[in-house]
Structures are given as structure tokens and as C-alpha cells.
Structure 1
Amino acid sequence: MRTLLLTAGTRGDVEPFTHLARQLADRGHDVTLALPDNSGADLTGLATESLGVDYAAVVAGQGVSAWQAARSLRTTVRPLMRTLFTAAARAVVTHRPDVVVHHPKVLSAPAAAETLGIPHLLAELVPASAPTRAFPAPGVVNRDLGPLNRRTWVAERAGRRLFAAELAAAAAAVGQTWRAAATQGRGTLLAVSPHLLPRPADWPDSLRMTGPWQAAPSSAALPAAVSSFLAGGDYVYAGFGSMAAGDPAARARAVVLGARAAGLRVLLARGWGGLALPADLAGDDVLEVGSVAHDLVLPGAVVAVHHGGAGTVHAAARAGTPQVVLPFLGDQPFWAGVVRRAGLGTRIPRRPHAGTVAAALATALACTPAARATAARMRSEDGAAAAADVIEQLPRG
């Protein structure tokens, strides 16, 4: 079976698709992964294709501020989306696969696939397309509206209206006239664990909660300095991924001083600039690294302090590590709420101070038994395999 996977966004949007690609390839399928440039994900052994966009460069240039994104809608965002939509549509037309699996941001994929009669599946890393009364749409509203929750699920329609001109340009570029596409096509794969987010009763059967798409435990060795640090006693992992916004030195100061007040050491991951260790805080109880594989460091951490990305939330939960979430934007406040309601940790404000962090660490540490119990349930999940099963069983034509 020839499968085309299309994803867009930063590393957290790309890595799950690499795990699904490897699962399908290991089963003997012909898989192409079309993705942004410079994501930082491991692409070893995968057949890949560039979509011609570089989210890392955008983040480096303007950070992750929603306000800045709005200000640069005409100069940066619209050109990026036009390039993305056109490259994705061209990939569908060129490869003509047996099935297309696409990220919600790749709005041109379903229309291009349907025009050619190719089955397609929506692949979500956070609930985005299926309205429910159970909670409001992540990234749209951050509080429960009760019976009005279903009305908040408008992101996909809003995206199509906002980028209608870019979608039309993509269709013209590949010589197509697109009819309105059924967004979910043959269904939706949701790479979320029901042990973290209980499945709402009003979701359709066509939405399959597979569990997170994660790799098998890494066999790579940690750098000697990191291994030595981890062996030195209890530590907190702190990392904010691609969230290069605000004052990374001030955040690092709050985390390190808060951990010191709690008697804990800190493994500080700079990521794309979310944290930066001030020189006056250097010491034997802090190790600053660029990035490190979560599955190698989270199981030994007593608490994980992070931004609330879906992948990090799942990785920490699977490791049995209590969490302190500092959400920045988008769906991150939603995941902070999921962590709190599941009894796996707490959240802190965008501009924390040492006292805030110390108190949050104490709260999170008290969640250790619940975190370990959740991890025991999640370890039986193989989300990438479950997703591959759905793809293999998809009717053709």
C-alpha cells in the first residue's frame, strides 16, 4: 500500500508522524512523509519530501506570540500557508497514493485527495474536528461552557475561510478545481490516550482514539555529562520545546531557584529558546542542554516542568512523572487542565517566580502515586500500531 503522510508545524507536530511512518514501513508499506524543513525530528531511514516551509525560522524570527502572528498575517503567515497548501497538493497529485493521512493544518490535502478519488484520513494530535458537549474546543476557549461547548468547534471552518485565497491558489497551481471536501474523509485518527482524556460519549465512531504515536524506547546512549548528572540524585526536568517567547532567562531563574528551594536539582533543556540559564545561577545542581530524548530522562525525573504540548504531556504521563505545566498558547491550556483533572500535576502562570515554582513542585510531588498508576495503564498502548491497523483496514476506492 502506498501511503502519503502530510504534517505541518514544529517538532511536536512532526515526530508523531515519523513514528507512524516507521510503523507502516516496518509492515512493508511504501510510505512517504511530507513535512516542514528543519523540524529537528529524527528522519533516519524514512522516505521524506519537503513542503518548502520552515517553522523553525519563523519561530526564530518572531517567536510564538499569537499577537505577532496576527500582525504578520499578510507578510509571513499567508505566504507560508500558500506554500504549504501548494506543496501538499502537489505531493498528492504527484504520488497518487492509495491513502492520504494529513495533519489538520494541511487544509489542501482532503480537497486534493477527493478530487482524485483517493481515500483520506485526518490525523490529530489534539482534538480539533469533532464537536462535543464534554469540553470546549482546545485553543478556542479555556473554560467549560457547559451546553455551549459544541459551538466552540469552529477552527477548521474558520481556517478554510481565512485562507480561502491560499487554497484557491494551491488548486490552480496543480491544475485542479476543488469541490468542497468532506474534512474527515474516511475518519479521524486521534493520537491521544483515553487514560488521559476520557472519550466523550457524543464523539462519532469514525473517530478512533489510538493512543499517542510514540517510538519504542531509545537505545541511544545519553552524553556522559548528562548520564553523570542524572546519577547524582533527584532532579527536575525543565523544557519548553519551541516556545521561544517572553524572557527565557527569567523563566530559567524562577525554575532553578524554585527547585533549589525544594531541594532539587534541574536538568534544563533550552529547546528552541524557551529557557536560558543566567550565568550567576550556574552550579553543580544545574545542567543545561540543548535538547534530550524524553524517554531517556523523564522516567528518572521526580517532576517535569514544561509548556503543555500534547507530546510532552503524554511522554511524562507514560513515564509516570508528575507535571508542572506553564502553558503559552493554543491547546496548551487545555492540556494543563487535562493534567490537573487527571491528578497528575498542576499549572503555573506564564511569568512565574521562584515561590510559585517551589509551591507547584510540592503539589506535583504529591501526585506521584497517581502518575505512576496512570503510567502503568498507558504502557499497554501502542498508538502508532493502532493507527496503522486502521489505515490498513481502510476500504479502497
Structure 2
Amino acid sequence: MKVVVSGYGSTGDNVPLLALADGLNRAGHHAILVADEQAGPAAERLGIDFLVLAGSVKRLLAEDSRGWRETVGSGRLSSRALSEMSSFHRSEWLTTIADAARDADVVASSVLGLHQAGSVAQDLGIPLVGIQLQPTLETSEYPPPASGLRRLPRVLNRPLGRLLVRAGDLVISRGVNRDRRAAGRGRLRIDWDAMPILMAWSPVLVPAAPDWTHADATITGAWTPPPDPDWRPPPGLEAFLADGEPPVFVGFGSVSGFDGLPALRDAVLAGLAGRRVVLSSGWAGLESGGLPADVFPVDHVPYDWLFPRCSLVIHHCGAGTTHQGARAGVPTVPVPFALDQPFWAERLRLLGVAPEPLNPRRPDAGAVRAAVAWASQPGARRRAAEVGRRMAEEPDAVAAAIRVLERVAG
């Protein structure tokens, strides 16, 4: 079967899509990946047919999006961000996905770009499959991840989840329908309650909620592509790792557009004084000059290689980084900024592998020391190792997703 795998986002959003497309090809199918330009080099290495969605997400987050700056600055999804995403290269994405879907049997898309994928699938008369990297189905178990909230009174969780889903659908559908009218096509019709959904996360971190009512939703596990056999550690990193106790990893991934990052970095490093640290520059390009000798700066290092060599990890709790830290079996000190990051921080806390998260808007070296002390306790380390063991025993997540796609495609 021919499958279009589409979605827009940062590295943590691209990696699962790459893994699914690679798995489909290895299983004898034909996958076409439609994603942000950042996925291009990995797609080429894996031999995946690839089309670029217009608009660099790295540039968008760092420079172009006032809505994202408002969101990451406040920790709450701004209405401006939602409005921006409803019009961001909407027509170009529709054309690109349509080009990829010629003769396709099914289109599978993550949240950003799902309406355009649904429009293409509707016109071609082929199935649409949703891809979720964090839960969006309504539940009373926890607040909707997009809300940026870790906890709410239980009675409010489900209504807020319903509100956010309906609001997002309304705003984005309006723009897609405008394009469809201009092309002489009927209104977009997506049956959200019946659309098959692939949930690409570990059930150890988020099990199925008992009050989900969706007819066809499958938690497959997290999708991870094979490692790059040609990757080598940057000069000096292996020697640094071997020259003392396992270090603490510090990095904030794709977080950018947040003016407080330099002060946050300084507070975290002050709180880690006397400890060995691997500091990742991330998309924000954290300044690496003038660092102490026990802090080793890195650019890109695969987390599945690095995290098992660390004593604990301090990060923003994006979905991908959260899974890598948990799978490595090491405790986390969460520093969530916005959107689903507080949700993942709370999941780790509930598992006993992370303390209460640090507030990136109130950098405090003392709070860092206290959180690191908590994460360094034998109990936290023991629980983290157990979570890592359980995740390692999960069945093949990509294979589970492919079985669903094969069933849907018929």
C-alpha cells in the first residue's frame, strides 16, 4: 500500500513520522513523508520519499510568530498562535499533500496539517488516519495537554478538552473551507468520532483513559527510527564522559523565542555548581562561551546514545525528550514552558521519576539544587530504572501502527 505520512513540527514531532515512514518501507509498503524541512536529511539517509511543507518551523518559532512568543512567554496557548496556525501556509500545505497523495491508499497525519490531509483524503475518497503524539481525546483523567495546565479539578478536565478541540477545529476548518470553496469543492467533512487514531506514545507514561469513548484509537507505543550508523560523538565528548561521574544533561530542545533563556541557563548551571554537566545548545543556540571546565557544550547528540550515560536529565519535557529520558532509565528535572510540556512533566512526577517542575520564568539556583537533590535520591533512581525497563519490554510500536494502517487501507 502507498501511505502519505504528514505533519508539521519540530524535531520531536518529525522523529516519530520518520520512524513510521521507515517502518512502512521496510515492511514492503511505499511511504511518502510530508513534513518540515528539518526532517529532510534523515529522510534522505533512510531512503524515504520526502516533500517539504512550506515554512521553516525553526524560523517560525525563533522569529516569525508573535503568537508563539506570547505562548512560551506566558505558558498558555495564545489566541494569536491559534489564529496564526490556521492561516500559516495553509494553501501550500494543501497542494503539497495532494501531490504526495496521488494513487495513495491512506493518508496519516499528525495534528498540524490534519485538516489539509483530511481535505485531500476526502477528495480522493481514501481513508484519513490521525496521528497523536500526546492525548487529545476528551477525558476527566487530566487536563488537555494543549492547555499548558498540569492539574485541574477533575470535573473541569473533560469540558476543557472538548472546548479546545472544538475551538481548534472551528478556526482551522474555516480557512480550509475557504480554500475548498475557491476551488469549487464542497465543505470539509471529517468524522472525528470515527477517524482511526494512532497514539504514538508509551502506555507506561500514559495508559488508556477509562472514559475515552472514541471508536478506533490505538496506543501503539512511541515510534523510534533506527540510529544513524555513521554518527560519531563530537570531539572530546567520550573522553569527558569517561573522565568522572556520569554528568547531568541540560537542554531545552526546540524551545526558542523565550527571552528568559540566558537567565534560566545561568540559574541552572549555578544550581549544578560542582557537578559535571553536558549542556545542549538547542534551537535557541544557548551561549557556550565562558563555561566552567566541568560543563561540556554540545550541539546535536542523539539522546538515545547520551541519556543512558547521564545521571539525570534536565529538560523542557517535550514529548520526544520525555520519552528518551524515561526510556534511558534516569530521573528527570522538568522545566516545562508551554503547550504539552507541563502535561509530560506531570506524567513523570506521577510515576515518581521527577520532582515538581521548575518554573522557567522564575529562574532560581536554589530551586535547581533542591530538584536535583530529589532526583538524585536512591528511590527516584530505582523508580526511573524500573520505568526504563518496562518501556524496553514494550512490543514493536511501529509494527503496531502498520497493522492498523493495513486494516484501514483494506
Same fold? TM cut 0.5: yes
Q: Any conservation in 2 of the 1:191–1:209 contact (CA below 8 Å)? A: yes
Q: What displacement does 1:345 show?
A: 1.0
Change (3 A) 1:363 1:75: closer
Residues 1:256 and 2:264 are matched in the alignment: no
Structure 1 match to 2:238 = 227
SS in 2 for 1:378: helix
Structure 2 match to 1:364 = 375
Q: Distance in 1 between matches of 2:198 and 2:166?
A: 19
Change (3 A) 1:73 1:369: closer
Structure 2 match to 1:312 = 321
* 1:318-339 Cα distance to aligned partner (Å, 9 max, x none): 0001101111110111111101
348, 354, 358: which one aligns with 1:348: 358
SS in 1 for 2:408: coil
Q: Which moved more, 1:3-12 or 1:165-174?
A: 165-174
Structure 1 match to 2:217 = 207
* 1:362-387 Cα distance to aligned partner (Å, 9 max, x none): 11122110000011110122322221
Q: Any conservation in 1 of the 2:86–2:171 contact (CA below 8 Å)? A: no
Structure 2 match to 1:120 = 128
Structure 2 match to 1:393 = 407
* 1:247-294 Cα distance to aligned partner (Å, 9 max, x none): 32222212222112xx421111111116334x44x2220111122110
Q: Any conservation in 2 of the 1:122–1:184 contact (CA below 8 Å)? A: no
| Structure showing the higher helix proportion among its residues | 2
Map of 1:156-171 to 2, 5 A cutoff? 156-171=165-180
Structure 2 match to 1:57 = 59
* 1:194-232 Cα distance to aligned partner (Å, 9 max, x none): 111122112245110111111235543212321112212
60, 63, 70: which one aligns with 1:66: 70
90, 93, 100: which one aligns with 2:98: 90
Q: Any conservation in 2 of the 1:120–1:185 contact (CA below 8 Å)? A: no
Q: Which amino acid aligns with 2:390?
A: R
Q: Distance in 1 between matches of 2:207 and 2:404?
A: 20
Q: What displacement does 1:193 show?
A: 1.0
Change (3 A) 1:355 1:83: farther
* 1:155-187 Cα distance to aligned partner (Å, 9 max, x none): 332122223442124324665323421135541
Q: Which amino acid aligns with 1:182?
A: D
SS in 2 for 1:23: helix
Q: Which moved more, 1:229-238 or 1:181-190?
A: 181-190
Aligned Cα root-mean-square deviation (Å): 2.4
* 1:13-52 Cα distance to aligned partner (Å, 9 max, x none): 1111001110110011111000122357622221001121
Q: Which moved more, 1:382-391 or 1:16-25?
A: 382-391
Q: Distance in 1 between matches of 2:363 and 2:224?
A: 31
How much identity, in percent, do the aligned residues show?
31
Change (3 A) 1:74 1:248: closer
Q: Any conservation in 2 of the 1:36–1:53 contact (CA below 8 Å)? A: yes
SS in 2 for 1:38: helix
Structure 2 match to 1:383 = 397
Residues 1:333 and 2:347 are matched in the alignment: no
332, 341, 347: which one aligns with 1:323: 332
Q: Distance in 1 between matches of 2:143 and 2:409?
A: 32
Structure 2 match to 1:134 = 141
Change (3 A) 1:136 1:71: closer
Change (3 A) 1:207 1:35: same
Residues 1:301 and 2:314 are matched in the alignment: no
Q: Which amino acid aligns with 1:383?
A: A
* 1:128-181 Cα distance to aligned partner (Å, 9 max, x none): 1x2112112112243232133211123332122223442124324665323421
Q: Name stretches of at least 5 consecutive residues in structure 1 with no aligned partner.
A: none
Q: Distance in 2 between matches of 1:46 and 1:103?
A: 18
Map of 1:170-189 to 2, 5 A cutoff? 170-172=179-181, 176-183=185-192, 185-189=194-198
Change (3 A) 1:91 1:150: farther
Structure 2 match to 1:240 = 252
Q: Distance in 1 between matches of 2:405 and 2:82?
A: 37
Q: Distance in 2 between matches of 1:54 and 1:89?
A: 16
Q: Any conservation in 2 of the 1:138–1:334 contact (CA below 8 Å)? A: yes
Q: Name stretches of at least 5 consecutive residues in structure 2 with no aligned partner.
A: none
* 1:98-132 Cα distance to aligned partner (Å, 9 max, x none): 0110011212212331332201110000001x211
Change (3 A) 1:41 1:60: farther
Q: What displacement does 1:191 show?
A: 0.8
Q: Which amino acid aligns with 1:305?
A: I
Q: What displacement does 1:62 show?
A: 4.6
Q: What displacement does 1:395 show?
A: 4.7
Q: What displacement does 1:76 show?
A: 5.5
